[in-house]
Structure 1
C-alpha cells in the first residue's frame, strides 16, 4: 500500500512539474508583448544592444531568465535585464520560454 501511494505521488508530482516547465505560450505572448517587446522587438529580432531572441530554445530562455531574476551577472545587459526579471514567477518564466522558443524559430 505504501509503495503504491509513493508511486502515485511520484507520478502526480512529475506530471505537475512537466506541465509547469512546458509553459503556456499564449500567456507568454501576453507577458512578452507587455514586458519584453519594447527592447527585443515584436518579432524578437532585437536591435542595437538588445539581443535577438530568434532560435533560442526553451531551456536557454528559462536558464537565462532565472539567472537574471537571481541577479547573477551573465553579460553586458545584466543591468537592464535583472530589474526586468526580478518579479517574474516560475510560471512567467515557463510561459515566456514557451512563447519565445516556438514563436521566434
Structure 2
C-alpha cells in the first residue's frame, strides 16, 4: 500500500510539473509585446532583417534557447543582443513566451 501511495504521489507531482512548464499563450502574448520582442521579431514573429522568425517554432526549443540566453550562454550570432532581454525573464515568462511564439503561424 505504501508503494502504491508513493507511485501515485510521483505521478501527481510529475503531472503538475508538466502542466507548469506548458506555458500560457495569452500571458506569453502580453509578455511578447511588453518585452520588446515585437521590435526585432515583428508583431507576428515572422522576423525581419537579421532577426529570425520565431513564429511556429518548437516551444521546447524556444524555451531552451531563452534559458541559455538568460544564463549568458552564446547560442548564435545575436546572443549579445538577446542576453539583456532574457536576463530578467522568470521560468514562467520563458514558458509563456515559448508557448505564444509556438502558437503563431
TM score, norm. by length of structure 2: 0.91
Asked whether the 8 Å contact 2:55–2:103 carries over to 1, the reply is no
Determine the structure 2 residue equivalent to 1:19.
19
Q: Which residue of 2 aligns with 1:79?
A: 80
Q: Confirm or deny that 1:60 pairs with 2:61.
A: yes
Following TM superposition, by how much is the alpha carbon of 1:9 offset from its aligned partner in structure 2, in angstroms?
Answer: 1.9
State the distance in 1 between where 2:26 and 2:55 align: 18
| CA deviation profile, 1:72-94 (whole Å, cap 9, x unmatched) | 10111100101100111111111
TM-score scaled to structure 1, two decimals?
Answer: 0.91
| Shift in Å, 1:21 | 1.7
Show structure 1 runs of 4+ deviating over 3 A: none
1:95 and 2:96 equivalent? yes
- CA distance in 2 between counterparts of 1:12 and 1:19 reads 11
- Partners of 1:76 and 1:12 in 2: how far apart? 41
- Segments of 5+ residues of structure 1 without an aligned counterpart are none
SS of residue in 2 equivalent to 1:22:
coil
Root-mean-square deviation (CA), in Å?
A: 1.2
Residue 34 (structure 1) aligns with: 34
Q: Which runs of 5+ in 2 are unaligned?
A: none
